[in-house]
Amino acid sequence: MQKEPTILIVEDDEASYLYLESVLRKTTARVIVARNGLQALEDCQAHKINVVLMDLKMPGMDGFEATRRMKALYPDLPIIAITAYAMSGDDKRALDAGCDYYLAKPLKKELLFNKLELCGITL
């Protein structure tokens, strides 16, 4: 893995993005933000992304559809689903869409770093 991994945060909620960005700012990671699924797909084409932190509930193209499209183009790209709407079955839906891991908000930093490490990202 490269020394400065690039992490794409796909998040439309400003507070959630700011939390993730503040946690990752203290690491060696380069952070890119997309506010919706379509922008996330464009960012994957424009940058060498090492892992995606994908919000599932967004206007327009949601995280489920964005994940399916990303995995079709980049099958080895690790995607971690992150959602505040942790309804029964959402974890299965996220994994079925192609997410590698699933985390519910409020997000604990230790759990995030654990999942990133499982994706081969050491910060």
Q: Where are the domains of the chain?
A: 6-116
> What is the phi/psi pair of residue 49, to 5°?
-90, 135
Max Cα distance, the chain (Å) = 37
- Tell me what pLDDT residue 92 has: 87
Beta bridge partners of 101: 80
Number of H helices, E strands in the chain: 5, 5
Q: What angle do CA 81, 82, 85 make, to 5 degrees?
A: 115
Q: Mind listing the pLDDT tens digit for each residue in 35-94?
A: 999 999 999 999 999 999 999 989 889 999 999 999 999 999 999 999 876 666 778 889
- More confident of the two residues 6 and 87: 6
Domain 6-116 CATH class label:
alpha beta
How high does pLDDT run on average in the chain?
A: 92
- More confident of the two residues 2 and 51: 51
**Rounded to two decimals, what is the model's pTM?**
0.94
